[in-house]
Amino acid sequence: MKNKYGRGILTLAILVLPFCAFNLVQADTYTLAQNTNTSSSTIYYVDYIDGSDSNSGTSPLSPWQHSPGDPNAVGNPQAVVLKPGDTIVFKGGVVYQFPSSGGYIAAKASGSPGSPITYISGHLLPTPWPDSTSRAIIDGTNSTSDYKDVTKNGIISLSNYSWIVIKGLEIRDSPPFVNSYQMAYTGGISWAGSSGGNITIENNYIHDLAMDGIYLLGKWSAAGANEVPSNFYIIGNTIIKTNGHGLLQRWGFNNVVIENNTFDLNGVDFKNTGEPDIQADNIFLSAYDTNGSIQYNTVIRNNIFKDAPTKSHILFANQKNINIYGNVFTGEAAVASIDIGWLNQGINIFNNVFNDNIYIYQGPLTFYAVSPDTFHGEVNIFQNTFVASPAHGAVIGFRSGKGSNIKILNNIIDANPDSGNFEKFGYQINIIFDTGVIDYSTLEINNNVYNSAMSRPFKVDGSYHDLSSWKVALQQKGVSGYDSNSTFGAVSFANRTEGDFHLSSNDTLARGKGINLSSYCSIIPALCFDKDGNSRPSTGNWDIGAYQYVSSIFLGDISGDNQISAYDAALAAQYSVGLISLNQEQIQKAEVSGDKQVTAYDAALIAQRAVGLIGKFPVEG
């Protein structure tokens, strides 16, 4: 018989519990440069087809033809002095062009905190101009970008101005590049400066350029995190078919967030005048040890990476504290999905999915420094799912440099014997530790699930191993964990053929087999949620891979009777004060607030849901 302890009085107490303000911080937080001060700001309208520079520009009925900052502008847009909070609206569906003599759009002023200067497509206005579906188009076919002049090194060039938003534009086409410098160091959108920042580039469609999609040039010399340009938000953009990099972030920066973008360099029509093409990455974070420049606190999350046929999806060097999580890597990458260069300190790679990649050179995750003395420190590789990713190299390869304090925990590393690439490359190596690359006394590796067509898919210090001898070799080197709890076999996914790598209900290799990594939540908050944002349990084992298994039974239904009732609220309340125990699945159902613990607040929410006071739980969004 069920224990109905406290069912009446406790339920009443739960219902009258005061509502509390709970702020769930799943990941690195940031504040976009949104315009909150409109008292003295002006909205200017630009219609290249039907506008005139003699118009006032302050009404959709009286738009300018040219944008401020275009050298072809005359009259009012040439003379206007932009102020913090001003907005330049480009009419949706209209193609903005430059004459054969050339041109570009250059920022001419900075915004201020709470009052950025915004360049926006008319389809995103509260009253769309002319409709809510047609993007404004900036056509750069006749643009004249100059990599040697930071005031015009992009089709839209922001120079070193701060507090600027570029939102919703389509930026397309550019002249064939003159040389590789012109292609690598100009962009569809560019910014350059040794200080300042607070730039938001959001929801733009950037494509078919003989240059970088976005080019950011920071501080050349060695400097601290508070001495370099900071607060750049690259969010929700689609960047495809650029001859240069999708995004090049060069030299010193701090706090750059690259989120919810789609990158794809497939199908690029390389045009040049005889010089060799650059090897373009979807994202290249390029700081240098030669000048001492460093990039601090970079976040790359929830992006989709498709093809990078000449180089890698992400290449970075000289990073301090970089977090790469929640991304999907697919398609072809000639070198690697994530290519880690030189002098990096604090690398967290977690909750990513690597699927159906073909690597001509290295593999999904490669540490391949230019110098054998190059340092990699504090590297955490947690909760990733690697599937169908064989290559000439390895799924995870430490190939050169010096690595210390490396942790590889709770990953699915499946080279996929059915992919056919084993015959193509002859390799399906899971992990390589080349000779002299790893400080084994600071290495921790455990609770991973491996799979490969090779009989000995592990390589350490030049010798190949099966899983059993791999464990012995690591143990002899004093490696913490030495993969003692790791297994070999094919994880059961929801639908492997269709690319759904959620764990299936009948999986026995990954479900409940991972180390509980809750101790890392204070320093890596997003780790304690899976790729879908589901909470990982605060106690008990975690699932292995990017996804925590979530039962199809309703959240809040702790009792398992297919309904949410006051009894479920009572169970949550009793568990929160230590009166009863719950299993892992029940804890997942009880944690409905999203604060990573079961408290009286969760009990109150369940009680309110049971009687119809709320329609969904906070954790459901």
Q: Which of 113-117, 517-521, 562-566 has the lowest mean pLDDT?
A: 562-566
| pLDDT at 578 exceeding the cut of 50 | yes
Helical (H) or strand (E) element with 611 = none
In which residue are the tokens 């899976």 written? 530
Q: Indicate the SS3 state at residue 308.
A: strand
Tokens of 564: 């949410």
CA distances to 14, 209, 541, 599, 608 from 578, in Å: 17, 61, 20, 10, 22
What percent of the chain is modeled with pLDDT above 70?
87
Q: Which domains does the chain have, with CATH numbers?
A: 9-29+552-620 (1.10.1330.10)
| pLDDT at 209 exceeding the cut of 80 | yes
pLDDT for the residue 276:
52
Mean pLDDT calculated for residue range 574-586? 90
Q: What phi and psi values does residue 574 have, to the nearest 5 degrees?
A: -65, -40
Q: Indicate the SS3 state at residue 449.
A: strand
DSSP 466-504: -HHHHHHHHHHTT-BSTTTT-EES---EEETTTTEEEEP
Q: Indicate the SS3 state at residue 606.
A: helix
Mean pLDDT calculated for residue range 271-289? 72
At residue 423 the predicted structure's pLDDT band, cuts being 50, 70 and 90, is very low
CA distance 206 to 212: 10
Tokens of 439: 């400080």
Tokens of 503: 């764990």
Amino acid type, 491: V
How many CA atoms lie within 13 Å of 57's alpha carbon, on the beta-carbon side? 28
pLDDT for the residue 324:
98
Check if the beta carbon of residue 140 is closer than 8 Å to that of residue 169: no
Tell me whether strands 344-350 and 95-96 are parallel, antiparallel or unpaired. unpaired
Q: Which of 78-82, 129-133, 286-290, 392-396 has the lowest mean pLDDT?
A: 286-290
pLDDT for the residue 399:
84
CA distance 285 to 338: 11
CA distances to 62, 204, 228, 339, 441 from 117, in Å: 21, 16, 21, 36, 52
CA distance 377 to 403: 6
| pLDDT at 270 exceeding the cut of 70 | no
Angle at 476 between CA 470 and CA 479, to 5 degrees: 80
* Identity of the highest mean pLDDT range in 32-41, 351-360, 410-419, 590-599: 590-599
The residue length of the chain stands at 621
Tokens of 226: 């508070």
| pLDDT at 273 exceeding the cut of 80 | no
| pLDDT at 17 exceeding the cut of 60 | no
CA distance 509 to 385: 13
Check if the beta carbon of residue 549 is closer than 8 Å to that of residue 511: yes
Tokens of 415: 């080279």
Tokens of 38: 């409109």
pLDDT in tens, 456-500: 999 999 999 999 999 999 999 999 999 999 999 999 999 988 889
Per-residue burial over 454-492, b = 16 or more CB atoms within 10 Å of its CB, e = otherwise: beebbbbeeeebebeebbebbeeeebebbbeebbbebbe
DSSP 511-543: TT-BPP-GGGTTT-GGGGB-TTSPBPPSSSPBP
DSSP 538-595: SSSPBPSSS-----SSPTT-TT-SSS--HHHHHHHHHHHTTSS---HHHHHHH--SSS
Mean pLDDT calculated for residue range 591-609? 92
Reply yes or no: is the peptide bond before residue 130 cis, omega within 30 of 0: yes
Q: Name the residue with higher pLDDT: 486 or 550.
A: 486
Q: Could you tell me if residue 431 is left (phi over 0), alpha (psi between -120 and 50 degrees) or otherwise beta?
A: beta
Average pLDDT of the chain is 87
Angle at 526 between CA 431 and CA 322, to 5 degrees: 60
Q: What phi and psi values does residue 572 have, to the nearest 5 degrees?
A: -65, -45
Mean pLDDT calculated for residue range 217-222? 93
Assign 3-class secondary structure to 32-94: CCCCCCCCCCCEEEECCCCCCCCCCCCCCCCCECCCCCCCCCCHHHHHCCCCCCCEEEECCCC
Q: Which of 59-73, 132-146, 357-371 has the lowest mean pLDDT?
A: 357-371
pLDDT for the residue 22:
29
Check if the beta carbon of residue 64 is closer than 8 Å to that of residue 44: yes
Per-residue burial over 566-586, b = 16 or more CB atoms within 10 Å of its CB, e = otherwise: bbbbbbbbbbbeeeeebebbb
Tokens of 159: 């120079």
CA distances to 267, 383, 461 from 457, in Å: 34, 20, 13
pLDDT in tens, 321-350: 999 999 999 877 888 889 988 788 999 999
DSSP 153-202: SEEEE-TT--SEEEES-EEE--PPPSSHHHHHS-EEEEEE-SS-EEEEEE
From 197, 199, 41, 30, select the one nearest 115 (Cα to Cα).
Answer: 41
Tell me whether strands 137-139 and 344-350 are parallel, antiparallel or unpaired. unpaired
Q: What is the pTM of this model?
A: 0.85
Check if the beta carbon of residue 379 is closer than 8 Å to that of residue 407: yes
CA distance 384 to 449: 11
CA distance 22 to 321: 27
| pLDDT at 417 exceeding the cut of 70 | no
Tokens of 514: 């991972």
Tokens of 513: 């087999």
